[in-house]
Amino acid sequence: MSASFSFWNMACQQLDRVAKRVDLDPDVHAKMRHCQRALVVSVPIRMDDGHVAVFEGYRVQHNSERGPTKGGVRYHPGVTLDEVKALAMLMTWKCAVIGLPYGGAKGGVVCDPAAMSRGEIERLTRRYTSEISIVIGPAKDIPAPDVNTNPQVMSWMMDTYSMTVGYSVPGVVTGKPVEIGGSQGRMEATGRGVATVLIAAAERYGLHPAQSTVAIQGFGNVGASAAKFLHGRGFKIVGVADVNGGLFNPRGLDVPALLGHVQRSPRRLLAGFGGGEYVADAAAANARLLALPVDVLAPCAIENQITAENAGTVQAKLIVEGANGPTTPEADEILARAGIVVVPDILANAGGVTVSYFEWVQDLQANFWDEEDVNRSLDRHMLRSYNDVGEVAAREKCDLRLAAQILAVRRVAKAATLRGIYP
């Protein structure tokens, strides 16, 4: 990410564009342009060698007009308050687009989990949870997994919060293991949602699975799950990339074999798989993947990946954003001029928060669903939302990103107007 890039400014620019388009009430616009609450915490822990290291953590709640806030926690060396604020705003729009009774939140700790032991990550998680416990809770703000966090991290968060209040509170986080109140289908929910929307968009734009090629940037939980579901529907996955490199095969990758290889790898990496050409240079692999002559490109890594500098190299007919904020506004304009359809992040990757909502409901009711019911409900929510956005796009004569943002902002604005300002 360039030093001059501000994810928060990008998010505000997108809001401003929508506000102008829908003639949003200036007072509501001003309120939406600010986060409701931003907490910065110090996270001191004792490392394995005995010394104390101090990390910085954040929890930001953008808007709670539609209900308690919801959003993931990421552990990454590049986490900033600016980034977390932007992701919290995007979560507000995502929850509104999909029709969930939530506002947006996000959290993060500046750290490199790849350089930390399991014990250090546990101590980091517990201290961070303790520090943010004043602003989270099943009726206030519900964290979930994000970059470099997982069900185990959520287990530690849930346990720490529960020990703080003196009784078990499974609904304080989502993305937990099923043994302690997690939902069936949660691990693959974001990738499944990406695949569901991608298949619907491909059908709308005349792309048939058996004749369609796909490139996936990012092969973590989201990218790998999307690849699994798309391969199962007959799409040919010709390129994937992770943090260390990329794997390419114009005849199509053997996705089940690749998934098995990644699961057996100590760091879940693509390197060493023999079913394609491996490019070990991450930057070169990423550039090649984004420029592949494919039918569909699915960026499922991190933000700011398709920019003004590389958007002109994209040859895909359709982009489905599995990551949050992977395309900058300048890149959007370039892609639009090239006739490339973009299914935006706040719609395409909403599967995770949707099943998190299901998990939260199950925890509150102590009534758990089987996986078939979860997946059926997820598919229904994703397809309904995709159609809602498509209807707005047709009515407003605009692209899908603007349509999704218009739909979301109008829903949040309506709630803000009904509730008013206290006191």
Q: Which of 342, 337, 338, 368 is nearest to 355 (CA)?
A: 368
Neighbours of 329 (CB within 10 A): 14
Q: Check 106, 176, 228, 236 and give the catalytic one.
A: 106
- pLDDT of 93: 96
49 CB burial (10 A radius; 0-12, 13-18, 19+)? exposed
Residue 90 has pLDDT above 50, yes or no: yes
Residue 327 has pLDDT above 70, yes or no: yes
The CATH number of 34-169, from 3.40.50.10860, 2.60.40.10, 3.40.1360.10, 1.10.10.10, is: 3.40.50.10860
62's tokens: 């953008």
- pLDDT of 200: 94
- pLDDT of 290: 94
Contacts of 377 (CB under 8 A, 6+ apart): 358, 369
Most confident of 158-172, 210-224, 301-315: 158-172
- pLDDT of 271: 82
199's tokens: 């298949």
47's tokens: 């490392």
Pair 67, 102: CB distance under 8 Å: yes
Pair 366, 380: CB distance under 8 Å: no
- pLDDT of 394: 95
φ/ψ of residue 412, rounded to 5 = -70, -40
CA 139 to chain centre: 22
For 46-89, write each residue's pLDDT tens digit: 999 999 999 999 999 999 999 999 999 999 999 999 999 999 99
How large a percentage of the chain has pLDDT more than 90?
85
Residue 112 has pLDDT above 90, yes or no: yes
Whole-angstrom distance, CA of residue 404 vs CA of residue 186: 24
Residue 4 has pLDDT above 90, yes or no: no
Q: Which of 370, 326, 274 is nearest to 90 (CA)?
A: 326
* 106 is a catalytic site residue: yes
For 226-259, write each residue's pLDDT tens digit: 999 999 999 999 999 988 899 999 999 999 999 9
Whole-angstrom distance, CA of residue 214 vs CA of residue 235: 7
Amino acid (one-letter) located at 182: G
φ/ψ of residue 343, rounded to 5 = -90, 115
What number is the average pLDDT over the span 192-201? 95
- pLDDT of 5: 60
What number is the average pLDDT over the span 174-202? 94
Pair 234, 209: CB distance under 8 Å: yes
Backbone CA torsion sign across 175, 305, 311, 396: positive
Domain ranges for the chain: 34-169, 189-339
Residue 347 has pLDDT above 50, yes or no: yes
- pLDDT of 3: 46
**CATH number of this structure's domain 189-339:** 3.40.50.720
254's tokens: 């053997």
Choice between 246 and 143, residue whose per-residue pLDDT is larger: 143
Choice between 265 and 226, residue whose per-residue pLDDT is larger: 226
Residue 1 has pLDDT above 50, yes or no: no
Fold identical between 34-169 and 189-339? yes
